Amino acid sequence: MTVLHPGYTRRRMLQTAAAGFGGMVLNALLASETNPQRAKQSQVPARARRMVFLFMKGGPSHVDTFDPKPLLDRDHGKPLPFDLPEVTFAKQGNLLKSPWTFHRHGASGLPVSELFPLTAQHIDDLCLLRSVHGTNPAHGGAALKLHTGSDQFVRPSFGSWITYGLGSENENLPAFITICPTLAHGGVNNWGAAFLPSHCQGTPIGNASQSASQVAVQHIANARTSAELQREQLKLITGFNRDFNDSTAPDPVLEGRLNSYELAFRMQASMPELQDFSGESRSIRKLYGIDDPVTEDFGRQCLMARRFLERGVRFVQVTHSDSHVQWDQHSNLYQGHTKNAAEVDRPIAGFLADLKARGLLEDTLVLWGGEFGRTPTVQGTDGRDHNPHGFSMWMAGGGVKGGFAYGATDDYGYYAAENKMHVHDLHATALHLLGLDHEQLTYRYAGRDFRLTDVEGRVAKAIVA
Amino acid sequence: MKTRFIVLLALAGVVRPCQGAVDGIAYFEREIRPILVRHCYECHSTDSKVKGGLRLDSREGVEAGGDHGAILVKGDPEASRVIVAVRYQDGDLQMPPSNPLSREQVSKLEHWIAMGAPDPRISSRTNQGRLEGMSPSEGRRFWSFQPLASVGIPDRQSPFIQNSIDRFVLETLEEKQLRPASRADKTTLIRRVTQDLTGLPPTAGEITAFLSDESPNAFERVVERLLSSPHYGVRWGRHWLDVARYADSNGLDENIGFGNAWRYRDYVVQSFNDDKPYDQFLIEQLAGDLVPGANQETLTATGFLQLGPKVLAEPDVEKLQWDVIDEQLDTMGKTFLGMTFGCARCHDHKFDPIKQTDYYGLAAIFKGTRTFGGENMGAIKFWYEHSIASEEDKARLKEVDAELKNLNSAASAYKNKAVSRIRTEARANAVEYLVACTQFDSSMPLTDLARIAAPKALHPRILHHCRKHLEYHREDPFFADWHRYADEGKVEALRDHYASLFEKAEKALALARKEDAKMTSLKDEQLERARAALDDKAGFLAVPTVDADAFGEETLAEYFRLLAVARAFESTAPDAPALMGVGDGEVVDTVPLLIRGDWKRRGREVARAVPQVMRWNGEGPPFQRETSGRLELARWMVDPRHPLTARVMVNRLWGWHFGAGLVASTENFGVMGDRPSHPELLDWLARYFVQSGWSIKAMHRLILGSGTWQMASHHPKESEYQAMDPENRWLWKQNLRRLSAEQIRDSVLAVSGRLDRCLGGKTLPLRNRQFVFNHTSEDHTTYDSLRRAIYLPVIRNHLYPFFQQFDFPDPTMPTGVRQETVIAPQALVMLNDPLMLDSATALAETILGGHETFEDRLQAIYLRCLGRVPTKAEVERGGEFIGIVTARHSVRKAWALYGQGLFASNGFLYLK
């Protein structure tokens, strides 16, 4: 590790610290008493050490998956017996019952729709959050709100905040990885670090338009130069840089660049190994559904996620998306959700089972959900509109109560009604589980202390086991 | 409870109340206080939060109400807002937000208000700990709001001094007991100044010419040559684009192309090349549509106000308008005045003397400004553009649009035909699908399932869906039969059952249609179910919605080809010529102040005005009735008496020359910003700027001609000085600078002879408002153009990765000084990006073609890449490297690897 010159400033230090992927340098730096802006040590005991977000792009319907509404079945075709929000995304009709039936599962007996038969087998590990709500009814705004806490300004992604707060446990890998993220609706801002130090930004592996079997970190390989030749070239560059650095004053930034080539070279070697599943057994591949074209893509993402988490990556996001409308069933709800659920159910169930078998689930916080839910009212004849006013997400592992349902929507599933959990509350709660106090995790920028939760956020303590 | 009541009375020190009041207070204590404590204090009490400005932990708080005014009318629960809130009657006012009170609790509150809301609580603290900014009169004493000082130039003598700047700098250095570094050598200076002014490295010829020019004004001559190069505008225009948060796409939610943004970019480049006076430049950008003699150029300039990211699909139009005004105000404030006005949208600025009324005074000007056009494309609203299309253009456009429509229809017609073919086939095989489904359960992988589908030529994905459909329809009368037969293993009976049903249904329908051609349903219940099942496009034979799942390879390839043809046509098709900018809309005198920035909560009306703290003579400019007021605002900003405009701009220019402004926070001259390191120098420069006629080139000549700028980037007493002044605030040396993303790219292309120096024009490969990507995440933008980097598309949400890694600024907000980070992905770019590999190969070819001996080649490659000749040690090591590689690879490969190594070296990436 670079020996830091005592006179160098924090800005200079951060630039250098970022030369590594890890936050080890950074953490040491931030912990130093002389730095007034260090990430504050939290009093909250951490229940999770890492987090994974299974993002269902487009907005899965809660009333068709994890939030059954008997009155919706009963009053199918009738008008919603209370007012619609002042602003809706599209024109909505009368109530539309779910095409799927719900069955009770596990010791908890919580109901899950037949869209998720395999995930349902893990119900006693899931903590259903049935009263999540946001503010923005459009994809872009809602996705940004969910990922960054703001739909109006460019703010750090919550993965970046977690990276900033906790650093990385692996020096050769980025602390925050997002696999096949969608470029639409916020795009890079959904994994960007905004004003946080650049090492906090998510490293994308491909994007949603690419098959998970083909994706790679940008510029991770050189097709024209062998590793051996590149080694020689690296020695050459090191020589150039040593000469240059000798000709200037000692400068941690220049030293940092010297190291950055070594790190890049190491990452170049370790990334392909991480994405190579040849070492995984047949039964694991089956567990994640990699042998089935229907589940292969999302299965690969989940398995990659497990491999990253295992090696100390702090925050991994996987995105279920496709090149069409994803979970956004304004029409053809039945066919669309059938297809989407079929693609993710086995990989999710397999992922949970695998984490559990490896003892990772207890300190890995898993979060599942989309940027909003869907309306219980019909759009057109067979679709549902966006609904940010009340929807479901779930958590698993990481210190949450399993087989537990928190909060509720109204009788028809339109508005969050009990123990309402705003997106800010969701963030506050996730940070809490990771041992970070959302009111203390601040970063001073442009003269202001910024927080993920801005001036909002309440920890839902009831879900903590 | 009783005891507590007494204690409270004692604490509150109230006089003994009459009996009725005691009953009321007892009621409060017994019934109301617990409700407040449990359900309200968390957000409405002095000790935790004071949301909505409302405190419910004291009688004063309850009586004062919140931002909206009173929350209760004593004696009249029906007229009390708090009752509306707890009854959950109003969708926008529901308290407590998560868990509604029980009916019983609500009626207790009603009863309490009916009693007159007796409340014994007296607050010991009100309004404590509330952060408030300075008042405008205090603010005028803050450094940045004071008038520009008329400062004398310090009297100093030293060989260091080349112009007046140096006298100020030296004075400060002497105060701090520091000495300036020596002048940089000429080799360093020519590379530094050429990169600084044009963003390109000097050529070997330019270096030699400067080194051999011994005349005293040799350096000035270089500066003049560079200032008159059109590439000066490319480099400095780009600085301005950082501030103007320039981009070629909207980003945010709906990422569609700004097909006309390039005109603003070219306007900026041209303005810098023309040395357009800054006051004029500012006025054109804020009010180019309103200036006398407005023309295409000045209208184009108003693009500045239009370039921001917008939530174009925001369904709440009013929210959208206020958000856009906020974006414009915030950008304008940071850009021209170094003020963070955005903070005052919801409340008085917490630090600066900017009141919420100041914000809405400015907002009224922008409310009267037209930022949106009338049209839209589905949910996506159109930003405003000044049309400059001729009738001829419009006629041509009609043809183009028609052609595009044809190409798109060709693709969709092809797809629809393919889908209906698949559907017809599936329908014909309906029975086979149902029979095949008896052979597997719904969790079978598609690969195995395909083996069942193949012999009968069934579509595996349809079969997969069919099986799920059956699973989801166990209770459906039509499919219940399938389950019964399947469970009993009676496959043939199942086949006969459905075959006969489908046949009868088809016949019955054909018959019915003979009578009524439009007939779509059957009377017989069972046959109607069969018909409906067959005809349901999302039913048991639904064709997959994802193209790749539905079609075979050939069909898919042809469909994608047709789509690509349409997209290629669209991407290069001409647009109606138009200037992206703003105009005047419905002019308003006042706007309501929005309580907490919420557009649904209107407070008092605020008239158009400039911020109070900046009114040097107590008054702002008068605003004309007929126009929005942007012109008056802009002219007021460039009044020489304005305390901020000139200071902010000279500080930007300084920052771009040195890597740090005299005020380090270039966008924030407020309380939370930095203080100037050299306040007198800053004011002297600002006055010089105004007196020079706001000439930016005059400032370059001044700054570049100073001994300060020409200092070496290291100092003999480096470590001693480092400890005293780690950020070099006192300017004892020049800063070591890393090249920007564009400089790195353009320099690599320039030294390898690949750079295309052509200027201007549309370069975005998208038609106006064409989707960069919709739901697809397929970004077709390419960056292989060899033109200068300023002409590469700036795609919000998905920047060119090379830019992203090398600290290209976030194009959604003004950036005055870029970061210069070191992160490992930069190393990956330098080692593996094809741009580096191709350029290194081209460089190797040039070097090998032009020079024979190893020494000549090495000298040439050093001169090109690093602007100097190699040392003896470097020649030795170079020889070793070339030797090692050529032992097993070509000479060309060896030199390419060597050249790429030079690109990746600090000597290339940094300017001394």
Q: What does the pLDDT look like over A279-301, one tens digit per residue? A: 899 999 999 999 999 999 999 99
Of residues A183, A254, A332, nearest to B798 (C-beta): A183
Indicate if B525 and B413 belong to the same structural domain: yes
Same domain, B539 and B484: yes
Determine, for residues A241 and B464 on separate chains, whether the beta-carbon distance falls below 8 Å.
no
- Report how many domains make up chain B: 4
Which token pair is B767? 């038609």
Same domain, B746 and B861: yes
Query: What pLDDT sits at residue B177?
Result: 95
HSE value, Cβ hemisphere, 13 Å, CA-based, for B469: 25
Any idea what the Cα angle at residue A326 is, between residues A323 and A329, rounded to 5°?
Answer: 130
How far is A376 from chain B, CA to nearest CA, in Å? 17
Which residues 325-384 of chain B have a CB within 8 Å of chain A?
Answer: 326, 340, 343, 350-351, 379
In chain A, residues 167-226 whose CB comes closer than 8 Å to chain B: 181-189, 192, 194, 198-199, 203, 207-209, 217-222, 224-225
Mean pLDDT of chain B: 90
Residues of A with Cβ-Cβ distance to B718 under 8 angstroms: 249-250
Distance to chain B for A359, nearest Cα, Å: 27
Total Cβ atoms within 10 A of residue A250 = 16
Q: Among B114, B147, B182, give the residue marking a domain's end.
A: B114
Residue A304 lies in a domain: no
Structure tokens at B395: 């006629």
Taking the CA of residue B296 and the nearest CA in chain A, the distance in Å comes to 32
Say yes or no: B509 and B612 in one domain.
Answer: no
pLDDT band at A18 (very low <50, low <70, confident <90, very high): very low
**How much of chain A, in percent, has pLDDT values that exceed 90?**
58
Using CB atoms and an 8 Å cut-off, which of residues 834-863 of chain B contact chain A? Answer: 837
CB contact under 8 A, B774 and A189: no
Measure the CA–CA gap between B41 and B39, rounded to whole angstroms: 6
Residue A228 lies in a domain: no
* Separation in Å, CA of A219 to nearest CA in chain B: 5
Task: Give a yes or no: residue A309 inside a domain.
Answer: no
User: Does A294 map to a domain?
Assistant: no
Does a structural domain hold residue A291? no
Of B598, B624, B642, the last residue of a domain is: B642
Q: List the single residue in A with minimal CA-CA distance to B805.
A: A198
Strand partners, A50: A364
For residue B687, being part of any structural domain is answered with: no
Q: Does B316 touch chain A (CB under 8 A)?
A: yes
- Quote the pTM value: 0.81
- A52, A15, A17, A50: which is closest to A369 by C-alpha? A52
HEC string of B555-603?
A: HHHHHHHHHHHHHHHHHHCCCCCEEECCEECCCCCEEEEEHHHCCCCEE
Give me the residue from A7, A198, A382 closest to B821, CB to CB: A198
- Under 8 Å between Cβ of A449 and A392: no
Residue B835 in any domain: the answer is: yes
Peptide bond into B96 cis (omega under 30): yes
Q: How many CB atoms lie within 10 A of CB B8?
A: 16
Higher pLDDT, A157 or B41: A157
Whether A224 maps to a domain, the answer reads no
Of B99, B726, B874, the CB nearest to A419: B99
The residue from B94, B114, B134 where one domain ends is: B114
Torsion of CA A255, A258, A261, A266, to 10 degrees: -70
Distance from CA of B709 to the nearest CA of A (A): 18
Task: Decide if B807 is inside a domain.
Answer: yes
Q: Which residues contact B833 (CB under 8 A, 6 or more apart)?
A: A219, B802
Q: Is residue A24 less than 8 Å (CB to CB) from chain B?
A: no
CA geometry: angle B707, B713, B716, nearest 5 deg: 95
Q: Does B425 touch chain A (CB under 8 A)?
A: no
Substitution target in A323, A337, A423 with the highest count of B β-carbons within 10 Å is A323
Same domain, B759 and B899: yes
Residue A48 backbone phi and psi in degrees, to 5: -130, 150
Comparing A235-239, A293-297, A448-452, B15-19, which segment has the lowest mean pLDDT? B15-19
Contact call for A88 and B315, based on CB within 8 A: yes
Interface test with B, best of A87, A219, A243 (most B CBs within 10 A): A219
Report whether pLDDT(A268) > 70: yes
Residue B20 confidence (pLDDT)? 54
Do residue A199 and residue B823 have CB atoms under 8 angstroms apart?
Answer: yes
Residue of B nearest to A181 (CA): B777
> Which own/partner contact pairs does B512-519 have at CB distance under 8 Å and 24+ positions apart?
none
Q: Does residue A24 carry a pLDDT above 70?
A: no
Amino acid B594: pLDDT: 92
Alpha carbon of residue A380 to chain centroid: 32
Asked if B814 and B905 sit in the same domain, the reply is: yes
Are B298 and B419 within one domain?
A: no
Residue B180 falls inside a structural domain: no
A396 confidence band (pLDDT: 50, 70, 90) = very high
Same domain, B754 and B880: yes
**In this complex, is the C-beta atom of A4 within 8 Å of any C-beta atom belonging to chain B?**
no
Domain interval for residue B329: 277-388+577-642
DSSP assignment of B131-197, as one string? -----HHHHTTSGGGSPPP--PPP----TT-SSHHHHHHHHHHHHTT--PPPBPPHHHHHHHHHHHH
> What residues contact A25, with CB distance under 8 A and at least 6 apart?
A1, A2, A16, A17
d(CA A420, CA B97): 7
Strands A50-56 and A364-369 come out as: parallel
Burial of A381: CB neighbours in 10 Å, binned 0-12, 13-18, 19+: exposed
What percent of chain A stands above pLDDT 70?
Answer: 90
Residues 6+ apart with CB under 8 A from B298: B284, B288, B289, B291
Residues in chain A within 8 Å Cβ distance of B187 = none
Query: Does A225 map to a domain?
Result: no
For residue A341, give the CATH number of its domain: 3.40.720
Report CB contact under 8 Å: B777, A184: yes
* Residue B666: predicted pLDDT: 94
Taking the C-alpha atoms of residue A210 and residue A319, their distance in angstroms, rounded to an integer, is 12
| B413 found inside a domain | yes
Contact (Cβ atoms closer than 8 angstroms) between residue B370 and residue B584: yes
Residues B523 and B609 in one domain: no
Which domain does A324 fall in, by range?
Answer: 10-215+314-463
Nearest to A222 among B471, B773, B831 (CB): B831
Asked whether residue B670 is assigned to any structural domain, the reply reads no
Which residues 697-726 in chain B show a CB within 8 A of chain A? 713-715, 718-719, 722-723, 726
Contact A184, B777 (CB under 8 A): yes
Model confidence at A356, in pLDDT bands (50, 70, 90)? very high
Confidence at residue A183, expressed as pLDDT on a 0 to 100 scale: 84
Structural domain contains residue A393: yes
- Tally of domains in chain A: 1
Minimal C-alpha gap between A295 and chain B (Å)? 8
Is A226 within 8 Å of A234 (Cβ atoms)? Answer: no
For residues B370 and B454, state if they share a domain: no
Same domain, B479 and B596: no
Residue A30 pLDDT: 37
Asked whether the beta carbons of residue A233 and residue B901 sit closer than 8 angstroms, the reply is yes
Q: Do A140 and B813 touch (CB under 8 A)?
A: no
**Could you tell me the CA-to-CA distances from B753 to A107, A224, B739, B838, B853 in Å, in that order?**
71, 21, 19, 11, 21
CB within 8 Å of chain B, chain A residues 322-381? 322-326, 328, 332, 334-336, 338-339, 342, 346
**CA–CA separation, B882 and B299 (whole Å):** 57
List average pLDDT for each run of 10 residues in chain B, which is 912 residues long.
Answer: 32 38 73 83 76 81 80 86 84 80 86 84 50 78 93 92 97 96 96 98 96 96 98 98 96 88 98 98 98 97 96 86 94 96 84 91 96 85 93 91 94 95 93 93 86 91 93 91 92 93 90 83 87 91 92 93 91 90 95 89 93 89 95 97 97 97 93 92 97 98 98 92 89 96 98 96 90 79 94 93 90 89 86 96 96 95 95 94 95 97 96 94
Closest listed residue to residue A445, CA positions, set A252, A193, A199: A193
Are B139 and B145 contacting, i.e. CB atoms less than 8 angstroms apart? yes
Q: Which of residues 786-815 of B touch A (CB under 8 A)?
A: 796-799, 801, 804, 807, 810, 812-813
Residues of B in contact with A237 (CB under 8 A): 901, 904-905
Indicate whether B635 and B747 sit together in one domain: no
Contact status of A141 with chain B (Cβ, < 8 Å): yes
